[in-house]
Chain A
Amino acid sequence: MSGSSWPVAIYLQDGRFGLRAPVPEDAEYAGAWYEGAFPISAEAAREHLTEHETLPWGINPTIRLIVVELDTGSVVGGVLVERQNNRVGKIVIVAGRPDPASEAAQRVRAAVLRMVVPWMMGELNLMTAVIDVPADETVVIEAARELGLVEVVRLREHIARPSGRVDLLMLERVNRRWGRADA
């Protein structure tokens, strides 16, 4: 896919990666961005996008964005920001298949996290941002901590790895602007 085909949000890019709204052609690259556990066909992915992308003006409670490499325009991942009651924001980041636990894959997810958390807190004005991260994904966890997310839940042995099971962490940041008169 050409990098110039579709605009990347000027406020959601870091010099290497950028985020943009999905387009029907992204269905051809569903393996990179689709959040489900099992693969889907391009046709099913197109249906999935069409069914999801129905609300304009930024009012869809679940915001789906595609992660692209700025130099090439290649689709390298996806992110969902699920807004519950326009207050609690749950983040799901997909990148790095077929080896999502690799350090390279984690670096992409860490970069996405660095873009979306400040946006969720500062522009979407969500009260909390929450993300689930396997306890062995140290690159993502480090990025989350830099962004002010802290571990609030540890679910024991919730992730299966070839070498054994690891815990699943829920990391959370509370928006300090909430509850203040000058927010």
Chain B
Amino acid sequence: MRNPVKIGRRVYLRLVEPDDARLFADASHLEIETRFQDDGRVPVSVLAHQHWIRASGRRGTPEEISFAICRVEDDVCIGGTTLRHIDWINRTAETGTGLFAMTDRGQGLGTEAKHLLLEYAFVDLGLHALNSMVYEHNTRSAAALAKQGYRLAGRLTADVQQGGGFHDTLVFDITRENWERAYARWRDEQAGVT
């Protein structure tokens, strides 16, 4: 494993590196899903991703920390997960997670990565509460958030324009206490405890 920050059973998290830029750029060209991209799919350059990765890796107090989600078995980076808008005074942040390939989605890998991110946020950084935004039609992500301990906090009206219409954005929140309960449940499920 390469500089792991959090290690799970099947995936681990490490900081994104400039040489990951190609994977993120490729994913932006190969995305199959059209409904859950707020602004539609956009091919993004390697240069743009390198710029983002270098900016996020600088020393100092970050407003964003981005991790590559890597498979334990072969070190391959399969996606990314991020804490953004980190508020170091109020100890809050927004989370976001994505897997590059459709074949990796729905396999529990994103949930495992998300629990590693939440552990990093709540335990390592000592954050108090987090939030996440989901396009209202993205029922899969909304269900995943609920399973991870998030609660629906409300919705922003017509926040997204797509397909000639306007759609709401769902806003979720989670406290450390919520996450600890959800994490314990998830670990029991993984261990086969009923």
Could you list 16 further interchain pairs (A-B, Cβ under 8 angstroms) beyond the known A158-B131, A170-B154?
A: A85-B161, A127-B166, A151-B154, A152-B155, A152-B157, A153-B154, A156-B151, A156-B153, A156-B173, A158-B90, A158-B128, A159-B90, A160-B89, A160-B90, A165-B128, A174-B158
Q: Which B residues form the contact surface with A (CB < 8 A)?
A: 39, 61, 87-92, 128-129, 131, 151, 153-159, 161, 166, 171, 173, 175
Residue contacts A-B, CB under 8 angstroms, 12 given? A37-B87, A37-B88, A87-B161, A152-B155, A153-B171, A156-B129, A156-B151, A156-B153, A157-B128, A158-B90, A160-B128, A174-B157
- How many chain A residues touch B (CB < 8 A): the figure is 23
The answer to whether A37 and B89 have CB atoms under 8 Å apart is yes
Chain B CB within 10 A, most for which of A128, A158, A168, A170:
A158
Residues of A with C-beta under 8 A to B92: 155, 158, 168
Please measure, in the bound complex, the distance between the C-alpha atom of A180 and the C-alpha atom of B60, giving whole angstroms. 49
Q: Which A residues form the contact surface with B (CB < 8 A)?
A: 37-38, 85, 87-88, 127-128, 130, 151-160, 165, 168, 170, 172, 174
The answer to whether B154 and A154 have CB atoms under 8 Å apart is yes
SS class, residues of chain A in contact with chain B:
strand
Residues of B with C-beta under 8 A to A174: 157-158
